[in-house]
Structure 1
Amino acid sequence: MKSIAIIFKQAPHGSADGREALDLALMGATYEQQIHLVFIDEGVLQLLQGQQPELIGCKDYVATFKALDLYDVASVSVSQSAMDDFQLHNMPLIYPANVVDDAQIRQLLEQVDEVLVF
């Protein structure tokens, strides 16, 4: 079994990156790959509740994050420093992710077979 880290680095709805990363994660988990999701920089905004992408003409793929438990994703981590940068500590997330520091993210990335950045 291959272990894959998928890094979400872009804000939601500005491009297709977030949707494509999520689709890849779900597909990889379906084929029994060990998938780790990591949210850094503006990517932490992907997990915010209450988004209304239809107001800007986008499809609401963010709600699909709720399905991660059904796909047996190995881990979901959010950068502590990104949470600090955007002052998101009291904001509810759409999926319960582990808030980790940069050293923990680096350690995870050293352990996986593949790293994909979106």
Structure 2
Amino acid sequence: MKQLCIIFRQAPHGNAQGREALDLALLSASFEQEVSLIFTDEGILNLLDNQEPELIGAKDYIATFGALPMYDVDTILVCQQSMQTLAIQASDFKIDVEVCSAAKITHHLSLVDEVLVF
């Protein structure tokens, strides 16, 4: 089984990258690929709860992150340093994640077959 890791680096709603990355993750997982997600830099903002993108005319795709367990996407890593930089706590996220160091993220990347960055 192919192991795919998708990295979220861009903030949501300013462009379509976050939505496209999430769509790719769900589609890939539905075709029996082992999918993991990494959130770093402003990409961690995709996970924040209580967003109202409709106020700026954007589509609310953030709720779709709740479907990840149904697609067996269980490995969701968030960069601890990015959280500290943006003053965000794990309790601010919409879904359960594993907060980890850059070293652990690097190790995870060494274990997968393909990495896509959005």
TM-score range, shorter chain: over 0.9
Write the mapping of 1:1-118 to structure 2, written as runs, cut at 5 A.
Answer: 1-89=1-89, 91-118=91-118
Q: Distance in 1 between matches of 2:25 and 2:90?
A: 27
CA shift for structure 1 position 81: 0.3
CA shift for structure 1 position 91: 4.4
Q: Distance in 2 between matches of 1:63 and 1:115?
A: 24
TM, length-normalised to structure 1: 0.97
- Where does the alignment leave 5 or more consecutive residues of structure 2 unmatched? none
Task: Count how many residue pairs are aligned between Structure 1 and Structure 2.
Answer: 118
Q: Distance in 2 between matches of 1:36 and 1:79?
A: 14
Q: Distance in 1 between matches of 2:16 and 2:30?
A: 21
CA shift for structure 1 position 89: 1.6
Q: Is the CA contact (8 Å cut-off) linking 1:77 and 1:100 kept in structure 2?
A: yes
- Where does the alignment leave 5 or more consecutive residues of structure 1 unmatched? none
Q: What percent of counterpart residues are identical?
A: 53
Deviations 1:49-99 (A, max 9, x none): 010000000000000001111100140010000000001026421110000
Q: Distance in 2 between matches of 1:90 and 1:15?
A: 24
Q: What is the SS of the residue equivalent to 1:77?
A: strand
TM, length-normalised to structure 2: 0.97
Q: Distance in 1 between matches of 2:24 and 2:90?
A: 29
Q: Distance in 1 between matches of 2:90 and 2:61?
A: 23
- Give the aligned CA root-mean-square deviation in angstroms: 0.9
Deviations 1:32-63 (A, max 9, x none): 10000000000000000010000000000000
Stretches of 4+ moved more than 2 A in 1?
none
